[in-house]
Amino acid sequence: IQEGCDKFCNFCVVPYTRGPEYSRSPEEIIKEAKDLILNGAKEITLLGQNVNAYSSQNKKGEIYKLSDLIMKLQNLEELKRIRYTTSHPKDMSNDLVHCYKKTKKLMPFLHLPVQSGSNKILKSMNRKHTREEYLSIIQNLVKVRPDINFSSDFIVGYPGETEQDFYDTISLIKEVNFINSFSFIYNPRPGTPASNLKEIDKETQKKRLITLQNLLEDIQKKENKNKVGELKKVLIENKMKNEPSYFGRIANSTPVVISNGNEKDIGKIIDVRIESYNRNTLFGVKENTEREAAA
């Protein structure tokens, strides 16, 4: 629904390779969504380099923001789940936050890249938000949707990052409890402002990345472990290749493998009892199979 970026983070090539932000018309997006739903889609993900910067006029000249688009889509009866990615903290407006309260079709999960928990590094990155502003967004979202979960992106070993800066990132991770995240060692991109900065030595970068990833993995495993025994709503997407099992996702996007599904379950939201887990995936069984067989 949206392409390009106007943010110009100092480490990123997207504004140079993808150009300025551009949004498709709401009529075009809604028509595409209706076509997908007619073909059986139950979930739609709105995509963009900076998807929450979406802004476009309809044919009447009315401005549509991402929140307007979500509220329009939620009126489509056969559409059961709405997601969007990827967002920038600068564009997490109050109207978008309150969409999580207004419609349960908007899934309680948000991928919101922060990159660093240090204000000094965020400023050096030209991220245009502070640690405090980021945490305020998280707190506001939890207020309107207590069951919401978060994931993020982290750059480790950015030029100038001290041990204290790295600790600030670690403490932010512990405060938010991200259920799934992507983390990388800083890698200079030619032509970006950050490529002219003095790099941190590779061993320090690797050591910090291992520490950060171990923490993220521990949080992810704990979150998945806590779901064992729970009954979850799972949208079944497909039969797994070379296996009798079926694949789906719960509301917060965590993958689930179901051992006793069938072809008729594909495209449906079914009740699944979670029995086990690993770092990335939950494993469970479909409930009410005995009653279904009797029927």
Give the model's pLDDT for residue 109. 98
Mean pLDDT of 24-42: 97
Tens-place pLDDT, residues 38-72: 999 999 999 999 999 999 999 999 999 999 999 99
Local structure of residue 229 (DSSP, 8 states):
T
Q: Widest CA span of the chain, in angstroms?
A: 69
Mean pLDDT of 237-264: 94
Helix (H, G, I), strand (E, B) or coil at 240: coil
Question: Is the per-residue pLDDT at 290 higher than 60?
Answer: no
Give the model's pLDDT for residue 6. 96
Tens-place pLDDT, residues 107-160: 999 999 999 999 999 999 999 999 999 999 999 999 999 999 999 999 999 999
| Band of pLDDT at residue 288, cut at 50, 70 and 90 | confident
| Band of pLDDT at residue 5, cut at 50, 70 and 90 | very high
Mean pLDDT of 71-82: 97
Give the model's pLDDT for residue 242. 83
**Are 128 and 168 within 8 A, CB to CB?**
no
Give the model's pLDDT for residue 289. 52
Name 227's Cβ contacts closer than 8 Å, sequence gap at least 6.
Answer: 250, 254, 274, 277, 282
- What is the overall mean pLDDT for the chain? 95
Tens-place pLDDT, residues 159-213: 999 999 999 999 999 999 999 999 999 999 999 999 999 999 999 999 999 999 9
Q: Chain-centre distance of CA 289, in angstroms?
A: 32
**Are 108 and 149 within 8 A, CB to CB?**
yes
Mean pLDDT of 15-19: 94
**Are 112 and 89 within 8 A, CB to CB?**
yes
- % pLDDT > 70, the chain: 98
Mean pLDDT of 23-37: 98
**Are 266 and 258 within 8 A, CB to CB?**
no
